[in-house]
Structures are given as C-alpha cells and as structure tokens.
Structure 1
Amino acid sequence: MTIKVLVAYATKNWSTAEIARTITDVLKKEGLEAEMRLVSEAGDVQVHDAVVLGSPLYSGRWHKDARRFAQRNAHTLARRPLWLFSSGPLDATASERDIPPIPAVSRTLIRLNARGHATFGGCLQEGAKGRVARMIIKSGKGGDFRDFARISAWAEGIGEALRKQFAVREGRA
C-alpha cells in the first residue's frame, strides 16, 4: 500500500515553503508518496492518508491561510495522522531546544488530535514582504535560522511512524 502524505503550508516570503520542501523530500526518501501544496491550493484533504501542516509565525500567530485551512478541514484532519510545524524564531533557540507551540497552535494540536508539533527557526532576509519584516531586517535582526538537519530528522520520524502504523493496519507488523 502506498501511503499518501500531504505537506500543506502557508508562507509569505517562501522560507516556510523551503521547510515544507525538505519535509516532502525526506518523506519521499522514506518511501512515502508525499506531495507539497500551499494551503490555499491543497485541494481535497480526504485523498491523503496523513497530513503535515505548517505555517510561519507572524506577531505570535500562524499565517491566516494556515488557520483557515485547519478550521475548514478540521473534521478530516482530526481523523488522519497529523503533524504541525511552525517556523519563526529569528535566532538559534529553535536549534538549541524544543520550543512549545504558541497557545493558538497548542489548541489546534489538541482539537485536531495532532501527533506532534515542532518549531523551527525562521528566515527573514533582504527583499522580504511587509513593513514589519523590512523593519526587522533594517534593525539587523533578520537572517536564516532554519536547521535543515533538524527538520530532516523530524520528517524521518514522521515517515517511520507512518510506515509502522500502516504496517500494523495491513497486518505486516
């Protein structure tokens, strides 16, 4: 059986898309049929066996498109293996220790019965959209704090969990 995984993400400056791409590539290497899509273009979630949903953090909130996707698809997401990720801290803290989800994401984690959440470092570089983003860069606090080795390890864990779960379902475990 092929395990179909949707990696859905919201993004403003495309750095979260690069995290989603890494997760998708790792899941494919793990033998899963992984597909990455913007949440606004994700289509029918029901055709996937599992979902990974991610969003950048802006002013302590998930991107509105990710919040809407989670609300609109809550019934389906709650019935599938689901993992959430956030990208945001513009420093090395996400690589140094686990950062708990922000309160609204924590509530989503519980409401949708998600299996896990990870906060990864963010990326804000020259050319970023938005007045606040430009102010942050101008103040010298921008940069790329994504830890792709950590992101890959997290995705490998998802792949392993899904292979085990579906092996048990098919009586192969």
Structure 2
Amino acid sequence: MRVLVAFASAGGSTAGIAEWIAGALLARGHDVVLRPVGEITGVTGHDAFVIGSAVHDQAWLPVAADFLTENRRGLRGKPVWLFSVGSPGALRGPLRGWAALEEVDVLAELLKDVTPVEHRLFTGVVTATTFGKFGALLFRAMGGRFGDFRDWNAIENWSASIAAALAEQKS
C-alpha cells in the first residue's frame, strides 16, 4: 500500500517520530512517502495516511490542523492514523496527569475533520527553549524535566500495529 506519513514539527521531535514510523512501514513492505504537511498539495494517490503534529497550547500546529481541514474529503473512507507530540512524559506528579488529558482535547478538535483508526500521544524532546525564558522557569518550578522523552519502543510497536493493519487490508 502507498502510505503518506505527514508531519508538522516545531523543534524536530515530531519529524524524528514521523521518520521512524516511515522507516518501520517501509521495512515491512509498504510504499511510503514522508513529507512535512506544508509541502503537500493534496492527498490523491495514497491508500493510507499517518499524520502527526507537535502540540502547542493543547492544539496541533495550525499548518497541520489546516491540512486535515483542507483534505478531509480526500481522507474520508481511507485509513488514517494520527499522532500528537507533547510534553506529558516530561512532567511529574499531578501535572503529568493533567498534561496527559491534552490527548482528549486534541483528539476532540481533530475529530471534527477526520475519523482516525487510532490516535497516539507521544512525548517528544523538551528543552528550555520549548517554553521561552519565563515558561522554562515555571516548567522547572512545577517539577518539569528537560530532555528527550521519546519512547522509541512505543513508537516502534505502534508502527508495527499500523503495518499489520495495512497488510491485513491489502490481502
């Protein structure tokens, strides 16, 4: 199957995850196209889609949200997997639970344009520059940690489940 893996990345975390997913699908025999959403002019010619975005202020980046809205007709009836990249894994205690709730808010907004097979929220790379000077101080004061929190095992397992679902649809 021809799969479009599309992404909107702010600092590189989402791009890295999209690259991993594309590589995993390619390794399992799928024809994969990997592109930033801002470089895509349409969705024709693809059988399935994996689309992801960084999350800022509990929403997908505007370029990614606009991509879904503009292409909702072309995506209708096709298998679509969505992933979001935020900061829940960088938080501790009650804040971690609160941040994990962003998946509910993000997904509610995305469901206005597309009905995905599945949506996953991953944690990305969190640096002081992610939040700006004041935001970084507040983040640290609230127990936040900086670092690379991408869970490559979880990303690989999810990629494998997508590949298996695509192979099943193909046969």
TM-score, with structure 1 as normaliser: 0.81
Distance 1:75 1:137 in 2: 40
Q: Percent identity?
A: 32
Distance 2:48 2:42 in 1: 12
Q: What secondary structure does 2:170 align onto?
A: helix
Among residues 76, 79, 86, which one is paired with 1:78 in the alignment?
Answer: 76
Identify if the C-alpha distance between structure 1 residues 47 and 58 changes in structure 2 by more than 3 Å, giving closer, same or farther: same
1:23 matched to which residue of 2?
21
Taking the TM superposition and a 5 Å limit, the aligned residue runs for 1:71-110 are: 71-91=69-89, 101-109=103-111
What is the identity, as a one-letter code, of the residue corresponding to 1:38? P
- Is 1:164 equivalent to 2:168 in the alignment? yes
Identify if the C-alpha distance between structure 1 residues 135 and 109 changes in structure 2 by more than 3 Å, giving closer, same or farther: same
Deviation for aligned residue 1:107: 4.4
Distance 1:7 1:76 in 2: 15
Among residues 59, 62, 65, which one is paired with 2:60 in the alignment?
Answer: 62
**Partners of 2:58 and 2:105 within 8 A in 1:** no
Deviation for aligned residue 1:166: 1.2
What is the identity, as a one-letter code, of the residue corresponding to 1:145? F
Q: What secondary structure does 1:91 align onto?
A: helix
Distance 1:104 1:92 in 2: 18
2:124 matched to which residue of 1?
122
Identify if the C-alpha distance between structure 1 residues 145 and 9 changes in structure 2 by more than 3 Å, giving closer, same or farther: same
Aligned length: 159
Q: What secondary structure does 2:89 align onto?
A: coil
- Is 1:7 equivalent to 2:9 in the alignment? no
Which sections of structure 1, spanning at least 5 residues, go unmatched?
168-173
What is the identity, as a one-letter code, of the residue corresponding to 2:119? H
**Partners of 2:58 and 2:106 within 8 A in 1:** no
